[in-house]
A and B are shown apart, each in its own frame.
Chain A
Amino acid sequence: MKILVCISNVPDTTSKITFTNDNTAFNSAGVQYIVNPYDEIALSKAIDLAEGGKGSVTVITVGDASTDATIRKALATGADNAIRVNATPRDAWFVANQIAHYAKENNFDLILTGRESIDYNGAQVAGFVASLLNIPSVSISKKLDIDGNTATVEREIEGGKEVLTLNLPAVIGTAEGVAETKIPNMRGIMSARTKPLDVIEPLEVAQLSQIVKFETPEPRGTVTLVDAGDVEKLVALLHEKAKVI
């Protein structure tokens, strides 16, 4: 089974988020970049599925050369080879078109993405890629099993879960529960240096949307402390002042 895993290069979860140029650009100064945590789940699942010679795992990312460290981490974790589309990602549509174009030419049985990226929080790439390839997709899966040509997926729904089956090839967005995240070991780190990382040039894609500015949330006010022995006061405050109960 040939598996393609789409990975995104995102600021570390502890990063303080600031912007430059009148709040029009993300300030990457001093920010550590990581493999998007949801994409790590996708990658870990792909490695499990391909284990023991049952398949191969290719990772793909859209980014400039600065993302190579993130790609090498994916290779160290256990991917067999990597593709970097040499472009700064503009939006999810741009990224999805690059992935779909590559996937079309290379016939993958399964395409895995994270359910969203922790930077722009769109859950768009899985659906876009599937639509461009005209194949089924599940955007947020909590469990994934493959049997031959059929994927069985557990998907979260409001107040419950849904179990569905779909034919491969398909695109699945993964969330927690699909796989335990793998951490690269020393052997993986050493072998990652020699694994193939191919750089390809991007497709031209019409731009449909653009982030024009960012804002950070207003700082919250100071806390009103209530004595632990006087919880009735908290109830009264929530009712009378905050008006939330």
Chain B
Amino acid sequence: MSILVYVENTDGKFKKSAFEAVSYAKAIANQTQNQVIAISIGNVEEAQLSQLGKYGASKVLSVNTEQLKSFVNQAYAAIIVDASKANDASVVVLSNSFSGKGLAPRIAAKLNAALADGAIELPTINGQNLQVKTGAFSGKAFSFVALTSAIKVIALNPNSFEVKESEVSAAIENYTPSVDASDFSTIVKEIVRATDKISLPEADIVVSAGRGLKGPENWAMIEELANVLGAATACSKPVSDAGWRPHSEHVGQTGIVVSPNLYIAIGISGAIQHLAGVSSSKTIVVINKDPEAPFFKVADYGIIGDAFDVVPKLISALKAYKGL
């Protein structure tokens, strides 16, 4: 038996979420006396692959073909299903990333496996069953899902499990899967990556702003603050609805749910739908000129003041602190 973990790469490099997934798989493996087998698909160099040993993978299956360089949902799912069968996997772990959300149900369906997506903690083990804590009601609650099938699939939320080092050295194997031509009916035409942007779901720090900013022309100071902090930028729903910022930055119940170490909300009053999407942030700072703004009720730190006065001062103070 084994725990199979799919490690996602971005342009051949693994990100923190991949190491989180391997660490998570290793922690399950430790409790179930299994080994962790990682599978990587795409053009990833050996030096990258061998890093996975550091987090607990004893074997790395590398699928490295030109045809599979870009993410193709069906083909990737078929390969992961094949590998999990060949390695007698009892649990398949992957990151609940944008791609992971597409892959996880396809893998689970083919393996007749129960799926827990959005896992935020290590599962508790009860005989053959696993119980997984996941977010529910967009952060307003948590649910504990019992997975009772023979094989289980768990998609781990980014930033939910600490990266842990283990003393394991990974054996790297080239893996040649058999894939059907019909698995390639999806064709990737174009990938556009904003290289200077920090990905919102994975960010440690998020700087978010709302209608209090009055217009899209005032976002330069939000971006500057985010730059100084190495943070991702986000916004409230009215802001993305008004077209001031892209929908991909909308954080909240009907947008992206985030759980960074630090969430700074500027000019956002804190409607219940917005709070639902950010309440699992570890530290929340609120800057708002309305002392009655509901956001202050969930904030750790608050400044009652006008964003146009406070944010430039905060940028200067942070620059001084960082020696910039």
Contacts and interface: CB of A to CB of B under 8 A. Distances in A.
A119 interface: yes
A106 interface: no
Q: In terms of DSSP, what is the predominant structure of the interface of chain B?
A: mixed
B317 to A, nearest CB: 5
Interface stretch (B41-49, B55-63, B160-168, B277-285): B277-285
Interface stretch (B25-33, B84-92, B104-112, B211-219): B104-112
Interface in A106-140: 115-116, 118-128, 130-132, 134, 136-140
Contacts of A14: 272-273
Contacts of B181: none
Contacts of B105: 92, 96, 123-128, 131, 139
Nearest to B201: A158
A23 B68 CA distance: 45
A78 interface: no
A245 B201 CA distance: 18
Interface in B181-213: 182, 185-195, 197-199, 201-202, 205
Interface in A136-164: 136-140, 142, 152, 155-164
A191 B90 CA distance: 52
Contacts of A155: 98
A235 interface: yes
Given A121-B137, A207-B148, A225-B302, A157 B191 contact: yes
B202 A231 contact: no
B248 A142 contact: yes
A127 B142 contact: no
A13 B272 contact: yes
B147 A231 contact: no
A85 B201 CA distance: 35
A156 B98 contact: yes
A194 interface: no
B148 A209 contact: yes
Interface residues of B, number: 102
Contacts of B83: none
Contacts of A38: 254
Contacts of A217: 139-142, 279-280
A140 B318 CA distance: 36
B109 A132 contact: yes
Given A209-B147, A231-B310, A176 B247 contact: yes
Nearest to A166: B186
B305 interface: yes
- The residue among A158, A175, A176 with the most chain B CB atoms within 10 A of its own CB is A158
Contact of A123 (B101, B110, B112, B141): B101
A102 interface: no
B318 A235 contact: yes
Contact of A214 (B143, B192, B310): B143
A121 B138 contact: yes
Contact of A212 (B106, B145, B248): B145
Contacts of B138: 118, 121
Contacts of B185: 136, 166-167
A245 B205 contact: yes
A218 B238 CA distance: 28
Given A164-B187, A208-B148, A137 B135 contact: no
A118 B302 CA distance: 29
B145 A232 contact: no
Contact of B186 (A136, A140, A234): A136
A186 interface: no
B301 A223 contact: yes
A244 B283 contact: yes
Interface string A193-235: 0000000000000011111111111001101111110011011
Nearest to A127: B105
B12 interface: no
A19 B105 CA distance: 27
Interface string B108-149: 111011111110000000000001011111111111111111
Contacts of B71: 157, 162
B106 A231 contact: no
Contact of A231 (B145, B279, B299, B303): B303
A175 B5 CA distance: 28
B117 A122 contact: yes
Given A119-B137, A157-B99, A211-B143, 10 more contacts: A128-B105, A136-B73, A136-B74, A137-B102, A158-B202, A166-B185, A217-B140, A226-B301, A232-B321, A237-B301
In the complex, the 6 A-B pairs of residues with the closest C-beta atoms, listed nearest first: A127-B105, A228-B305, A131-B109, A160-B193, A208-B114, A139-B102
15 contacts: A13-B253, A136-B74, A137-B102, A159-B193, A160-B191, A160-B192, A207-B148, A209-B149, A211-B146, A225-B301, A232-B317, A232-B321, A242-B262, A242-B300, A244-B283
